[in-house]
Amino acid sequence: MYADGKISLVGPTAVTLIISIVKMEVAEFRKRGKEMVDYIADYLENIEKRNVYPDVEPGYLRALIPEVAPDEPETYEDVVKDIERVIMPGVTHWHSPYFYAYFPSANSFPALLADMLSGGIGCVGFSWAASPACTELETVVLDWLGKMLKLPEEFIAGTEGEGGGVIQGTASEATLVALLAARSRMVKRVQADHPELTEVHIMSKLVAYASNQAHSSVERAGLIGGVRMKKLPTDSKFAVRGEYLRKVIEEDKAAGLIPFFFCATLGTTPSCAFDRITELGPICNAEGIWMHIDAAYAGSSFICPEFRPLLDGVEFADSFNFNAHKWLLVNFDCSAMWVKKRADIIGAFKMDPLYLKHDHQESGLVTDYRHWQIPLGRRFRSLKLWFVLRMYGCQGLQQHIRKQVTLAKEFESLLLGDERFEICAEVVLGLVCFRLKGSNDLNEVLLKRINSSRRIHLVPCQLAGQFVLRLAVCARTTESRHIREAWTHITKLASELLRENQH
């Protein structure tokens, strides 16, 4: 059809072709959409049959597809057949029950369907007027979720609250937003007493704090915010205590610095340790330091009454954040953040060009979420949270958390029965930190063999100078049999390794 080159592209044939694609669109979408749902269902139902960790080298994909985008349209079939050829060989299967690395990434069918709807509506909800449902649902479901966590009343928006919730993309963004708001609040406070001081001068004196176990995104927030960030020491349980913070604040104030921000971690990434916020919070409040709580992983568990005491002290915090996309069955991205005083965040970031203005004043009922975050644009992310909260109910979500904690406890008890291993941190939730008694080298080799077998996937961490293996219960479909299989596999590789080392 195109034998004579470009000329035929502007001829009648090409016009007919384009028109026919447009006419086909809705009908084809209906059909292909159903096929895609089937493909995803098959993928997730049979995920155990795939190797959890891919066997590819860097650059594998470039060799499988053309160097430039196609000039002429391809068919849907052409694209779809490349999913298994190009994509799947390079996927790490996070939802496999043999995946125990990092922390979980949530996945559930209600959330997947809601995300499809969000894509379909495709609105960009930067202000109330830009899509009232997008804004209002977010405010209301974050109130729901805040009440499930038994957050203090000040964090709940209601119709005229001063606080409220927002969905950020990630915990990293939540920490950064909190730090920038705290920075702006402190600069204004200092200038109120010392109008002669410039913002640049005050900023050069600011100092923020976090645990030496805090996530790397916290240190990064300090870098991006252009402020000093000091890492605080931790106790034998990897927790920051009040006295450590008090000591460094006194030293820093004596040196002319201005402490302004403390990021507490509840459920640290290496070992799921909990900073002592009941001690730390009152110190922050007395010093006018913004306390932000990063509970990215552990936060979901606080919906269970038996784990809620871990959140005691939240009443001292200015902001609190956790990732519903980690452990609450809401697909990435959905990082829930609450602040006590919305004016603190809005005050730091507000920009109001004419093209974004509308006739409704900011209040509990009317929120312009663009003032609460770094980007302008935002997706309709509350839909997936709404679907999940309604279809699982609080009880269903509690059940999910409890089941995964029980599985971690099961793995812990298997470890306790084998004296070649040691447990390196208290097992509080779904994470178990363990190692072979012996050198770091020995444990590094063990981990290498575990991961290169591709049967299960783990990542390590460093705790008190030791190389430690981390097993986090991740997939929603993980069962006791998978935990026992993982254990059998690990002990087999460990026995081989120890036998070789004897010779």
Binding site for ligand PLP (CB under 6 A): 103, 170-172, 215, 217, 265, 268-269, 294, 296-297, 323, 335
Q: How many CB atoms lie within 10 A of CB 341?
A: 18
CB-nearer residue toward ligand PLP: 171 or 177: 171
Nearest approach, Cβ of 404 to ligand PLP (angstroms)?
15
Nearest approach, Cβ of 447 to ligand PLP (angstroms)?
20
Tell me the chain's radius of gyration from C-alpha atoms: 26
> 38: cis peptide before it, omega within 30°?
no
CB-nearer residue toward ligand PLP: 139 or 335: 335
Nearest approach, Cβ of 266 to ligand PLP (angstroms)?
8
Could you write out the DSSP letters of every residue in 432-491? EEEEESS-HHHHHHHHHHHHHHTSSB-EEEEETTEEEEEEE---TT--HHHHHHHHHHHH
CA gap 434, 410 in Å, rounded: 14
Closest CA to 389 of 139, 148, 113, 164: 148
Nearest approach, Cβ of 269 to ligand PLP (angstroms)?
4
Nearest approach, Cβ of 333 to ligand PLP (angstroms)?
7
Helix, strand, coil tally for the chain in percent (to 5): 50, 15, 35
Helix, strand or coil, per DSSP, at residue 159: coil
CB-nearer residue toward ligand PLP: 94 or 103: 103
Q: What tokens were used for 14?
A: 């090409």
CA gap 155, 163 in Å, rounded: 5
Beta-strand (E) ranges in 162-279? Answer: 164-168, 206-211, 228-232, 258-265
CB-nearer residue toward ligand PLP: 143 or 275: 275
Nearest approach, Cβ of 448 to ligand PLP (angstroms)?
24
CB-nearer residue toward ligand PLP: 96 or 268: 268
Beta bridge partners of 423: 434
Could you write out the DSSP letters of every residue in 92-109? --TTSTTB-SSS-----H
**CA angle 415–418–423, rounded 5-degree value:** 40
Asked if residues 227 and 208 have their Cβ atoms less than 8 Å apart, the reply is yes
CB-nearer residue toward ligand PLP: 188 or 230: 230
CB-nearer residue toward ligand PLP: 128 or 238: 238
Asked if residues 465 and 473 have their Cβ atoms less than 8 Å apart, the reply is no
Nearest approach, Cβ of 185 to ligand PLP (angstroms)?
22
CB-nearer residue toward ligand PLP: 143 or 294: 294
Nearest approach, Cβ of 239 to ligand PLP (angstroms)?
13
Per-residue buried b or exposed e for 15-27, using 16+ beta carbons within 10 Å of the residue's own CB: eeeeeeeeeeeee
Nearest approach, Cβ of 297 to ligand PLP (angstroms)?
4
CB-nearer residue toward ligand PLP: 324 or 494: 324
Asked if residues 254 and 224 have their Cβ atoms less than 8 Å apart, the reply is no
